[in-house]
Homo-oligomer: A and B are copies of this chain.
Amino acid sequence: MTSSPCTAKPSAISKEATRAHNEQLILAAAERIFARHGYRGASVQAIAEAARLPKSNVLYYMGSKQALYVRLLARMMQRWNALLDDISVEDDPAEVLTAFIRRKMQLSLRHPEGSRLFAAEILGGAPFLQEYLSGELRDWVESRARVFEQWAERGLMDPVNPVWLIFLIWSSTQHYADFEAQVLGITGKETLSEDDIEDITRFLSRIVLKGCGVRQHKKGRDVQSDAAPDLPFVAASD
């Protein structure tokens, strides 16, 4: 990934490539700045400097500050949707929940600025995302909630409130991206290593599965109903 803007000679082919390249520079820089200062607190000037381009160039490529912001939000929602798998009541709860936690964790830490951009938008009352939240996302939550309830009816997990459970997974995973400054300050680390991420992922999976009484899926075998089985991924305690 080159970090310098392309202002080279306009040969027919490289024009489009240059434009695409500069757009990517702007989007990456804008995600950082918007995440850090929020919509109003971010200035086009600051975004331009972060992208090493003139301010007018940013507005020329993106049209307006608001259009740029909306485009970034849409990109983040797209990433989000990419891991919102469909699940059915026939699936194994343990597998689905661990995969859900793992993917959410990876998304947050693969795109920390996007995650913080989203967080800042919600923190400010979600002026640009209300429709998405109470429409598309709400439907997604409701459909998964129904599956969780059916799992509980079949005795595959405890009858917990499925919406609170989804919020628990969202909040506890996103925390490591959104509150990174706090996490690093308290742990004294400079960054979270791959091992840390793996450790946290296993910790959260363990707590959620055990906390919800999810039975291990063992085909052709009876499952003990009141024992707390040792899970295969007991987290290290530091």
Contacts and interface: CB of A to CB of B under 8 A. Distances in A.
Contacts of A182: 122, 126, 133, 137
A175 interface: yes
Interface in A138-178: 138, 141, 149, 152, 158-165, 167-168, 170-172, 174-176, 178
Interface stretch (A47-55, A69-77, A90-98, A209-217): A209-217
Contacts of A227: 226-228
B119 A123 contact: yes
Contacts of A236: 161
The interface residues of chain A, by DSSP majority, are classed as helix
Contacts of A35: 123
A206 interface: yes
B235 A160 contact: yes
A199 interface: yes
A86 interface: no
Interface stretch (A10-18, A21-29, A184-192): A184-192
A199 B161 contact: yes
A38 interface: yes
A9 B72 CA distance: 53
A164 B197 CA distance: 11
A39 interface: yes
Contact of A238 (B130, B161, B209): B161
A83 interface: no
A209 B162 CA distance: 18
A100 interface: no
14 contacts: A36-B125, A37-B38, A119-B179, A120-B120, A122-B178, A122-B182, A123-B178, A126-B185, A161-B203, A161-B235, A161-B238, A163-B187, A163-B238, A167-B175
Interface of A: 35-42, 116, 119-120, 122-126, 130, 133-134, 137-138, 141, 149, 152, 158-165, 167-168, 170-172, 174-176, 178-179, 181-183, 185-188, 199-200, 203-204, 206-213, 226-228, 234-238
Given A37-B41, A160-B206, A210-B211, 12 more contacts: A37-B38, A38-B120, A41-B41, A130-B181, A158-B234, A160-B207, A160-B235, A162-B237, A163-B238, A171-B175, A171-B179, A213-B228
